[in-house]
Structure 1
Amino acid sequence: MNLREMACTKHPLQRLASPARSISATVHLLGIASFAASFRWLFKYPSPQQEEFGGSFQFLTIIGLALAFTSMIFGFFADLTLNKTLFRAKNIVSVCSTPLEVLISILYWGISLIDKRLLFPEELQLPLLPDLGFHAMPAFMLVLDLLFFSPPWTIKFQGAVMLSTAIAFAYWAWIEYCFSYNQTYPYPIFTVLSTPQRIMLFVGSGVTCALSTMGLKWLYGKVNGIDKMQREATNPVKLD
């Protein structure tokens, strides 16, 4: 098989060729450029939290951005080398990072509608373009990659719940560990909420992340004409 034929190969249920040195590589490179610009903003305009234990990685936004960046890097180098191992690595990271970025966007813009000061003090709030770069572009680019340049997800609802719950409570454990050093939380909302309310927030976030996984699976089936994926997403308990 020559390089041209390899570049055109794809999973039979995947819409567009990937890995491939064409549209796929362009999309992954755009994602890398966008996420790199967001990380550059962190270094150009440091926040007080960057001097604390955990630094910027106290923020779920930055953890999600790092995972999204990793996914796009794997995807881009898979496109350049036509390496299936790198392509599989991209897809594995994507199963975690894509629902997480959708959750981050839902939480961020939802809470912002209530009171943005629950997320950042007024003096640290972002201009519109960097705000979109941190809290909208990662979800958009990862969903785009999923729908057109990735094979269908095989994760079931039970697996999505377990993964999402693990992510939610791992993040809670991490910020509590950071709090033990810093005596402050990265997001003001954690200070406002009581411990039971924080538990409810993290449980709700885990459920939302699992539902976003199933929603993305349904959307993949809808866009790519795969009825089985839509059935699995809308009837998660019923197994064929």
Structure 2
Amino acid sequence: MVLKTMVRLAAFSSALFPILIVPTLKTKGLKNGFGGGTQYLTIVGLLVTMICIGLGIVGDVFNKPGLITLKNRILPMLVPVECVIGGLYWYLTLTNVYHIYPDGHKYLPFYIDIQMHGIPFLSGLVEMFYFSETLRIHRVMDICYFLLFAVFYSSWSSFCAHMDGEWPYPVLQNQKSDWDRYTMMFNATMVGLAIHAIVSEAHLRTRFQKALQ
């Protein structure tokens, strides 16, 4: 119980720290436009991670099964979301830094970079496979939650772009048309669904193996 709480607190703090620190960095890469930080997929992912881990902490410490149940419904959606966020970020940054940073300068220190685009996925995996004994995979429901998140962010980022006159990420801004932008978002969603299927199957097999022991 103590170890679980400590790991969760570390994961929660790791997600909170970049949200507080990144806006203080002097950079042209972070716009203060409509929606603030929530126009960025990474920040939205960090907020969802904090909510999920926070529910686990409060639910266990104060013995609130309802909060644990809510956490267990968010978790199967969160893990593929954070995997897509991290995968896309590192792929785009390593292939062409201008896809993410408009001035071509990768300003984030590595320790913050990994807290934003690596640790959230790993903490989600640990939560899912080691700290969620009551978690049950509901494939259809979990897929619906994931698709709901994808539709939400696509719609929200589109609205922010409409209000600001430009998209939050250069890789979206530089596309020739909205069709190309939404095709990119659709492809990312399909990758997320594939990751969801893999992680869900791994969780089911792990539970089955434990049941046999």
Identify the TM-score tier after normalising by the shorter chain.
0.7 to 0.9
Q: How does 1:227-238 map to 2 (within 5 A)?
A: none
Q: Please report the TM-score for the alignment, with normalisation by the length of structure 1.
A: 0.78
Q: Distance in 2 between matches of 1:43 and 1:199?
A: 28
Q: Distance in 1 between matches of 2:59 and 2:210?
A: 29
Is 2:56 the partner of 1:56? no
| 2:182 paired residue among 199, 202, 214 | 199
Q: Distance in 2 between matches of 1:69 and 1:179?
A: 26
Is 2:101 the partner of 1:120? yes
Q: Could you say if the C-alpha distance between residues 161 and 96 of structure 1 is closer, same or farther in structure 2, counting changes exceeding 3 Å?
A: closer
Aligned Cα RMSD in Å?
2.2
Worse-superposed segment, 132-141 or 46-55: 46-55
Does the CA-based 8 Å contact 2:76-2:137 persist in structure 1?
A: no
- Specify which structure has the bigger relative contact order, considering alpha-carbon pairs within 8 angstroms and separated by 6 or more residues: 2
Cα displacement (A) at 1:57:
0.5
- Give the match for residue 117 of structure 2: 135
Q: Identity of counterpart residues, as a percentage?
A: 19
- Give the match for residue 238 of structure 1: none
| Amino acid corresponding to residue 4 of structure 2 in structure 1 | S
Cα displacement (A) at 1:43:
3.9
Please tell me whether Structure 1 or Structure 2 has the larger radius of gyration of its CA atoms: 1
Give deviations 1:178-224, integer Å, cap 9, x for gaps: 11211111100011213222122111111111111111112223444
Worse-superposed segment, 132-141 or 36-45: 36-45
- Give the match for residue 19 of structure 2: 39
Counting matched residue pairs gives 207
| Amino acid corresponding to residue 189 of structure 2 in structure 1 | G
Unaligned runs of 5+ in 2: none
- Give the match for residue 6 of structure 2: 26
Does the CA-based 8 Å contact 1:185-1:191 persist in structure 2?
A: yes
Q: Could you say if the C-alpha distance between residues 41 and 167 of structure 1 is closer, same or farther in structure 2, counting changes exceeding 3 Å?
A: same
- Give the match for residue 85 of structure 1: 66
- Give the match for residue 186 of structure 1: 168
Unaligned runs of 5+ in 1: 1-20, 229-240
Q: Distance in 2 between matches of 1:180 and 1:166?
A: 21
Give deviations 1:156-181, integer Å, cap 9, x for gaps: 2x545444333223222211211121
Cα displacement (A) at 1:101:
0.6
Cα displacement (A) at 1:153:
3.5
Q: Distance in 1 between matches of 2:143 and 2:200?
A: 14
Is 2:192 the partner of 1:209? yes
